[in-house]
């Protein structure tokens, strides 16, 4: 049954509210027999009202906005998330959702697109916001104040708004917190700066992985981080910053000696140091692993270069609170499939403001987001439910995560994200650059095929991708960053969503109304033709070709 503009349950709930509960003395007064409704059916109810009254706005918020994209039978942005893999690969991720490429397999509720912010033309809303005003706004540090105003300790890194100050050599946080920044290729294409936001990612392993005999050791920590990278990517050797095997107490490069400065290590059965009793698990993180991700505005410097602005839109956090084996995860995937087969709506288990939500696969997720004044506040449980759309049951993920499997390999990947240092290398089992391939398959520079700047920059007048031009780009920075003009417009558009606090209606900072997105799904929508469906692995073939910037990390 499709939703109306206001649910009957909301009217039922609000019907119990008397006029005396309102602070506004000018509110309507009725007789004792009458009831006052703050909203009536057909009203444009603000997102905050749903949260204040604990009324669920979108029971299918785990379906992200991109899933309503029109494919026209041939444009396929879906393959980046929805994949089914051969059983012989023995992956812990057993979602197998490749059939969702171009098939709108939604519940009755999901047939209505609740992400109505996609259908707002924000050009008039941003017309009066000057460039100077938005530059001043995005240049402010709203993170540091949040560390003293409720941001949980586990989500804190000193000077995180300014990465050059926050992280030292090899990406290790200067504050001694154990957080480590890593350079990775952004996932296509929501996380391309040209489509709305910049971002970063950090990882932290438990103390045992950082120590030997109870003492902190950077060599031990970097060795364990690299071993985890091997387990997740399924590779047997990686480059490392010079590590002292005598300090680690183990021969890691397999030459039969304990050397003072090895630059490559081999995959081991167990981690090292005080974590030596813990086995490497194929494509799974160890219990206690933490991931931190900030979503930021698009910075524009005096030379027109794009960078990660100090102001944060969101601070997102994940913790592997419970290790689940491949067999245990299989039962969780089965339960998920069973619920869907019986047409049960997805359930999100809320653990409270300090912990966030449980995704049912061993991870807890939490996040802070801007309030109306631009300060970071805890996300409401309805806002957090959105996170499960990507970090629960998606076929392409590795242990419910994206970025670490896409880390620049080995030594060169330990450090804050730097798009200038990343080539458009292909995915595993593919021949051409990942972003080139994506734009070709999608027919645009974003899922919605409405990024006019990307279309003008990389496509010809007939809508065909200029592949030769794409291949000439010196790095992915040239491919996926916007012009200063577009960056400022995107920042302004998102700021209007902040002022509205309308995150329940969508967080995509679209400037104009989306035209390649369905508001309602019906049987007449053509599925994606078989020849436009693809088998794809999000991991990257960093060593393809001789020109790769990271070839020495083989």
Residues 336 and 458 in one domain: yes
Instruction: Give the phi and the psi of residue 266 in degrees, each rounded to 5.
Output: -105, 155
Residues 219 and 317 in one domain: no
What residues are paired with 520 via a beta bridge?
A: 112
Note whether residue 525 is domain-resident: yes
Q: State in Å, rounded, how far the first CA of the chain is from the last one.
A: 54
Note whether residue 552 is domain-resident: no
On the question of pLDDT at 46 being above 90, the answer is yes
Decide: 293 and 316 in contact? Cβ < 8 Å. yes
Q: pLDDT category, 14, cuts 50, 70, 90?
A: very low
Query: How does 358-367 read in b/e, with b if 16+ C-beta sit within 10 Å?
Result: bbbbbbbbbb
What residues are paired with 398 via a beta bridge?
A: 401
Note whether residue 19 is domain-resident: no
Note whether residue 340 is domain-resident: yes
Upstream peptide bond of 189 is cis (omega within 30 degrees of 0): yes
For the beta carbon of residue 130, count every other beta carbon within 10 angstroms.
10
Residues 458 and 425 in one domain: yes
pLDDT at 10: 40
What residues are paired with 290 via a beta bridge?
A: 204, 319
How far apart CA 214 and CA 154 sit, in angstroms, is 21
Residues 306 and 441 in one domain: yes
Q: What is the mean pLDDT of residues 133-152?
A: 97
On the question of pLDDT at 532 being above 90, the answer is yes
How far apart CA 6 and CA 50 sit, in angstroms, is 10
- CA-CA-CA-CA torsion sign (66, 161, 418, 554): negative
On the question of pLDDT at 240 being above 60, the answer is yes
Decide: 538 and 406 in contact? Cβ < 8 Å. yes
How far apart CA 55 and CA 343 sit, in angstroms, is 21
Q: 3-class DSSP state for residue 236?
A: coil
Decide: 63 and 367 in contact? Cβ < 8 Å. no
Q: Which percentage of the chain shows pLDDT scores above 70?
A: 91
**Residue of 43, 51, 61 lying closest to 112 (CA atoms):** 61
On the question of pLDDT at 343 being above 90, the answer is no
Note whether residue 21 is domain-resident: no
DSSP string, 348-374: -EEEETTTEEE-SSSEEEEEEEE-TTS
Instruction: Give the phi and the psi of residue 211 in degrees, each rounded to 5.
Output: -130, 160
Residues 426 and 516 in one domain: yes
* pLDDT tens by residue, 203-229: 999 999 999 999 999 999 999 999 999
pLDDT at 43: 78
> Which residues contact residue 448 at a Cβ distance below 8 angstroms, ignoring those fewer than 6 apart?
66, 69, 118, 510, 514, 516, 517
DSSP annotation of 6 reads: S
Residues 403 and 475 in one domain: yes
Q: pLDDT category, 544, cuts 50, 70, 90?
A: confident
The number of residues making up the chain comes to 554
Helix (H), strand (E) counts: the chain: 16, 13
Predicted TM-score (pTM) of the model is: 0.92
DSSP annotation of 453 reads: H
On the question of pLDDT at 256 being above 50, the answer is yes
Residues 298 and 397 in one domain: yes
Residues 315 and 457 in one domain: yes
How far apart CA 279 and CA 256 sit, in angstroms, is 22
> Which residues contact residue 64 at a Cβ distance below 8 angstroms, ignoring those fewer than 6 apart?
386, 389, 390
On the question of pLDDT at 3 being above 90, the answer is no
Residues 335 and 351 in one domain: yes
Note whether residue 18 is domain-resident: no
How far apart CA 464 and CA 89 sit, in angstroms, is 35
For the beta carbon of residue 519, count every other beta carbon within 10 angstroms.
13
Residues 330 and 253 in one domain: no
**Least confident range of 307-321, 399-413, 422-436, 508-522:** 508-522
Q: Which domain holds residue 230?
A: 207-266
Note whether residue 3 is domain-resident: no
Q: What is the mean pLDDT of residues 143-151?
A: 96
Query: Average pLDDT of the chain?
Result: 92
Note whether residue 15 is domain-resident: no
Q: Token pair of 84, please?
A: 């089914």
Residues 212 and 194 in one domain: no
* pLDDT tens by residue, 469-481: 999 999 999 999 9
Residues 191 and 166 in one domain: yes
**How many domains does the structure of the chain reveal?**
2
């Amino acid at each position: 049954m499709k939703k109306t503009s206001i649910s009957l349950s909301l009217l039922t709930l609000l019907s119990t509210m008397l006029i005396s509960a309102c602070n506004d003395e000018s509110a309507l007064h009725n007789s004792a027999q009458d009831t006052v409704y703050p909203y009536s059916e057909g009203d444009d109810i603000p997102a905050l009202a749903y949260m204040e009254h604990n009324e669920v706005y979108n029971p299918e918020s785990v379906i992200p906005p991109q899933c309503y994209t029109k494919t026209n039978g041939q444009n396929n942005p879906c393959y980046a998330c929805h994949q089914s893999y051969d059983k012989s690969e023995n992956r812990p991720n057993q979602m197998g959702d490749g059939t969702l490429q171009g098939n709108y397999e939604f519940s009755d509720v999901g047939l209505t697109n609740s992400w109505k912010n996609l259908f707002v033309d924000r050009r008039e809303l941003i017309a009066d916001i000057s460039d100077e005003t938005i530059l001043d706004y995005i240049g402010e540090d709203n993170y540091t104040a949040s560390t003293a105003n409720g941001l949980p300790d586990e989500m804190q890194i000193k000077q995180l708004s300014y990465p050059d100050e926050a992280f030292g050599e090899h990406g290790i946080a200067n504050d001694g917190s154990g957080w480590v920044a890593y350079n990775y290729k952004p996932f296509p294409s929501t996380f391309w700066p040209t489509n709305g936001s910049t971002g970063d990612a950090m990882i932290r392993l438990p103390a045992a992985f950082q120590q030997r005999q109870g003492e902190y050791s950077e060599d031990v920590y970097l060795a364990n981080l690299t071993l985890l990278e091997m387990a997740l990517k399924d590779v047997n050797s990686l480059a490392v910053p010079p590590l002292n095997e005598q300090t680690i107490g183990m021969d890691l490069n397999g030459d039969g000696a304990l050397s003072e400065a090895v630059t490559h290590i081999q995959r081991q059965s167990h981690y090292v140091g005080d974590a030596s009793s813990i086995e490497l698990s194929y494509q799974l993180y160890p219990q206690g692993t933490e991931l931190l991700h900030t979503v930021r505005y698009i910075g524009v410097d005096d030379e027109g270069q794009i960078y990660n602005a100090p102001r944060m839109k969101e601070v997102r956090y994940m913790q592997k609170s419970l290790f689940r084996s491949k067999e245990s995860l299989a039962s969780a995937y089965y339960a998920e499939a069973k619920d869907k087969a019986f047409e049960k709506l997805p359930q999100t288990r809320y653990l409270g403001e300090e912990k966030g939500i449980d995704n049912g696969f061993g991870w807890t997720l939490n996040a802070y987001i801007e309030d109306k004044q631009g300060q970071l506040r805890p996300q409401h449980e309805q806002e957090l439910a959105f996170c499960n759309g990507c970090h629960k049951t998606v076929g392409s993920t590795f242990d419910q995560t994206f970025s670490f499997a896409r880390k620049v390999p080995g030594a060169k990947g330990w450090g804050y994200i730097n798009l200038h240092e990343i080539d458009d290398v292909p995915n595993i089992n593919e021949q051409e650059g990942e972003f080139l391939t994506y734009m070709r398959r999608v027919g645009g520079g974003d899922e919605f095929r409405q990024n006019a700047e990307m279309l003008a920059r990389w496509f010809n007048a007939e809508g065909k991708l200029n592949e030769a031009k794409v291949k000439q780009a010196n790095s992915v920075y040239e491919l996926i960053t916007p012009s200063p003009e577009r960056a400022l417009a995107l920042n302004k558009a998102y700021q209007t969503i902040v002022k509205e606090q309308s995150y329940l209606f969508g967080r995509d900072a679209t400037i104009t109304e989306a035209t390649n997105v369905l508001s309602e799904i019906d049987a007449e929508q053509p599925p994606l033709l078989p020849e436009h469906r693809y088998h794809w692995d999000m991991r990257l073939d960093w060593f393809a070709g001789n020109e790769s910037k990271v070839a020495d990390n083989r």
